[in-house]
Amino acid sequence: MPKSLDTSGGLRWHLRALWRRGQWRDTTRQIADWLATTQPASRHLLLIGGSAGWMMSSLWLQRFSRIDLIDLDPYAHRLFRWNHGRALRESGTELHYADFDALGSLDSLLKRHPKASIFFDNVLGQHLFRIRQIERAEADLARIAKQLKGRDWGSVHDLFSGPTNPLKLPVSPITQFDALREPNGLVADGLSGTPLHHRLLAQVGGEPDWVDHLTSEVFPVGTRSRLIAWPFLPDYAHWLQAGWVNESKRG
Ligand SMILES: C[S@@+](CC[C@H](N)C(=O)[O-])C[C@H]1O[C@@H](n2cnc3c(N)ncnc32)[C@H](O)[C@@H]1O
């Protein structure tokens, strides 16, 4: 398993996120800038896989009157309060927490909260590495947009990740691209040629053998998204995809 993929939650993730906070600052800011452009339809948010919200914007969270953080990680909610509690008290946002498998029970979760907006916070790209079955992960991820049809939802998730050579080209999160989910796949503005991951790899000095997190077709056709580089380690980078689907407003 690639070295970053066993750390999607738990104590190891928290220690790493705390330690690398400075190096991840530009990526976190780019996520916050993108979040600021979203227009969630509800003031109730289901935040799935939010962990401690190390890369989450307090300012964005303050828009909601109620947040339900759902994360398998038993450390998540205390650390989430540590990172965002003060801001949420200031905005009068209620925070609830539950630790069940939100992807496995997505249908019942959506039924229980028919009006809430949903945000998958860097969790969909980890699905393959949690369940370790490619075909099942592909099927689960392909089903998500159908399960969420008519709902207001967004996601930031790993698209590709892999080793980089810092001597070849230092990983820099300055680069970001807007992208569009077209019927035959994901197309990024300003990055012509295929496959997309080869183009993205070249932007961050990537070495061959990048991992595909199977998420490039999670959003429905027509969804615009932003691709953001994340220098996870000095020699290992991720490309994140951030998108929002406002179907509840269209319908
Ligand atoms: C990479 S971390 C998210 C980091 C977070 N965005 C942050 O800013 O700190 C992914 C999180 O998803 C959680 N997770 C993974 N699969 C899940 C599932 N099926 N249901 C609920 N939580 C899940 C993990 O426990 C982990 O905390």
As given in the structure block, the two tokens for residue 230 are 């994340």
The tally of domains found in the chain comes to: 1
Pocket test for ligand 1, best of 5, 12, 55, 126 (most atoms within 8 A of CB): 126
Give the residue-averaged pLDDT of 161-170: 78
pLDDT at residue 159, as a whole number = 95
188 lies in some domain = yes
Residue 205 has pLDDT above 90, yes or no: no
pLDDT at residue 41, as a whole number = 97
Nearest to 237 by CA among 35, 31, 24, 56: 24
173 lies in some domain = yes
Confidence class of residue 165 from pLDDT cuts 50, 70 and 90? confident
161 lies in some domain = yes
As given in the structure block, the two tokens for residue 164 are 């980089």
240 close to ligand 1 (CB < 6 Angstrom) = no
Pocket test for ligand 1, best of 123, 159, 240 (most atoms within 8 A of CB): 123
Distance from Cα 48 to the centre of ligand 1, integer Å: 7
Give the residue-averaged pLDDT of 173-184: 84
Taking a C-beta distance cutoff of 8 angstroms, is the pair 213, 186 a contact? no
* CA 12 to each of CA 9, 30, 37, 55, 226: distance values in angstroms, whole numbers, following the listed order: 7, 24, 31, 16, 28
Alpha-carbon distance of 16 to 6, in angstroms, equals 12
Distance from Cα 78 to the centre of ligand 1, integer Å: 14
Q: Which domain holds residue 156?
A: 10-250
125 close to ligand 1 (CB < 6 Angstrom) = no
* CA 99 to each of CA 155, 220, 250, 251: distance values in angstroms, whole numbers, following the listed order: 19, 28, 32, 32
Question: Using one digit for the tens of pLDDT, what is the confidence trace for 122-149?
Answer: 999 999 999 999 999 999 999 999 999 9
Q: Enter the pTM of the model.
A: 0.93
109 lies in some domain = yes
Residue 171 has pLDDT above 70, yes or no: no
196 lies in some domain = yes
**CATH number of the domain to which 120 belongs:** 3.40.50
198 lies in some domain = yes
Taking a C-beta distance cutoff of 8 angstroms, is the pair 173, 230 a contact? yes
In the chain, alpha helices (H): 10-20, 25-37, 58-61, 76-91, 106-112, 127-131, 134-147, 196-203, 247-250
* CA 27 to each of CA 34, 44, 133, 134, 136: distance values in angstroms, whole numbers, following the listed order: 11, 26, 29, 28, 30
190 lies in some domain = yes
